[in-house]
Structure formats: C-alpha cells, structure tokens
Amino acid sequence: MAIALAGLATPAFADENPGDYNGPYIGVSGGLQTHDNHGNGSDTVVFDTNRDGKFDNAVLTSTGGNAFAPGFCNGGATAATDPSTGTLCTRDHDAAEYAVRLGYDARYGNIVMGVLVEGSKSNATDSTTAFSTTPASYSFTRGLDYAISARARIGFAPGHRGLMYITGGPSYARINHTFATTNTANSFTAVNPDKMVWGWQAGGGAEVVLGGGLTLGMEYLYNRYRDNKYYVQIGNGTAGPTNPFVLAGGVNAAPQDQRYDFHSFRAVLGFRF
C-alpha cells in the first residue's frame, strides 16, 4: 500500500517545504464499513423469561417444545418461516462511512508521533433474526449513528514525503437500534434503543505529501463497541393463553452478540498547516 501511495508523489507535486509531518493538520475521509458476518447464521437471539437481567432462558410452547426451534440467522428476515435454507435472510448492509479529523504530529528523526480527534458517521447496519414456530420472524438491527474518537499514532517516515503508521484509541459512539416482527398478537417495547456506548479503534495506514500542504492516504481501522444496553420487552398484547410469551409471563429479548464489531477502509485527504 505504501509503494502505491509513493507513486502519487511525482515531481509534478514537488514542494520545497513539504511540511515533514510536523505540526497541526485537518483531514476528511471516506470509505466502506463492513461486518464480519453476512447471513451465515452464526448469531442468535437470547431471552430472559423471568426478567432477572440474565438472558439465559428458553421460550417454550404449551407442549414444552422450543418456541424458536426453526432457528436464527445473522441478517434481516425476508419471510416468517424456517431459515434453514439460508434464503430467508438478507445480508448485513455494508455501506459508506465518512469522517473529519483534527490532529497534531511531531517528528523525531524518522519517527512520527501524533494524536488526533475524529468524528465519523456510517450508513451500514448489522441484523440478527429469530424465527418462531408460530411462524413469525423477529429482527434486531443496529447501526453506527456517529462516533467521537481520540487516537494516538506512531509511524515511520524514511523521507520527507512518505509515512507508514499504526494507530489506536478510545471511541464514544451512538448506536441506533430498530426492531421488526411479523408477530401482530403480542406487544413489543424497545428499551434503550439509541444509547451512547464506549469502544475502541485500532489499525494502520500510509500517506504521502502531495504538495502545497496536501496529503493523501489509505487507512484501515478495526472498531469494537460494547453494545449491551438494548433489548425488547415482549408483552401479552392480544395473544391467547397458549401463546409462548404469555405462558412465560412476559419475556425480554436481545441479540446474543453484545459487541458491535466492524471494519473501516478509508481514503484520507489532509491539509497540513
């Protein structure tokens, strides 16, 4: 990646004083946010049937069977029936991500050390769906509304124009949640659907000085947030006495995966003062 970027620093962009990765800068970035799992059935929905805060219970039918025997899929539902064929769930939605940053670098020989503050936003979503014997589907979807992050970075700059670096730090993000179901009998109430949560980012990249204070780079970040506040309260609604949720006396449901992980692949354009 560094070799390809170095090719952009042609003599046509030469500058007598390229900035040398020392001092303040601003930048904008755009790219793709992707998720690890794409409709592969690796995630599940978990239930708390006695509402003690522990999602470790099974929802049972009136005959004692598992009300969610059809299974789960890591994606949104396209139908309310058995997901075993793998055709009833959409893939997680990878989408554009964009960000703005303000940073400062200090150079010590060939070593560059710096810090930055960044605000980012994404249109990507991650879903998990449960299927009941009714039949009905229950889909939980989450996405990054925005994040405020602070990262340190350290890099190697053998000359005046190229820099390769690693970076990482804490991040504070608003995660939005939505819920959809084909069950029209029970009632459903979302709890903590839009919470601010803590997480972290780590990755690396490379950039070159183009001239006139401009820099161009490519960056990868792995993002992880603790997403354990959201769940859905399922009530009786108009369901009859043999309804599994009525039999349980009220149920809370949540995605089993309480970490929101994703990858960011970005192009970064900066201006050094």
CB atoms within 10 A of CB 14: 12
| pLDDT tens per residue across all 273 residues of the chain | 444 444 434 333 333 444 578 999 999 999 999 987 544 446 789 999 988 888 999 999 999 999 999 888 888 877 656 555 545 677 788 899 999 999 999 999 999 999 999 999 998 999 999 999 888 999 999 999 999 999 999 999 987 789 999 999 999 999 999 999 999 999 999 999 988 999 999 999 999 999 888 999 999 999 999 999 999 999 999 999 999 999 998 899 999 988 999 999 999 999 998
Parent domain of 119:
2-272
CA distances 80 to 37, 59, 141, 182, 200, Å, are 21, 17, 16, 7, 36
Count up the domains in the chain and report the number.
Answer: 1
99: which strand partners?
Answer: 29, 120
Q: Report how far residue 177's alpha carbon sits from residue 117's, in angstroms, rounded to the nearest whole number.
A: 26
- Please check whether residue 71 is in contact with residue 77, taking contact to mean a CB–CB distance below 8 angstroms: no
DSSP secondary structure, 78-127, as one string: SSSS--TTS-SBPPPB-EEEEEEEEEEEEEETTEEEEEEEEEEEE--BEE
- Domain CATH for 170: 2.40.160.20
Q: Which of 126, 125, 120 is nearest to 97 (CA)?
A: 120
pTM of the model: 0.83
Length of the chain: 273
Give me the DSSP letters along 186-227.
Answer: SEEEEESSEEEEEEEEEEEEEEEEEETTEEEEEEEEEEEEE-
- Structure token pair of residue 62: 């009136």
Asked whether 74 and 44 are in contact (CB, 8 A), the reply is no
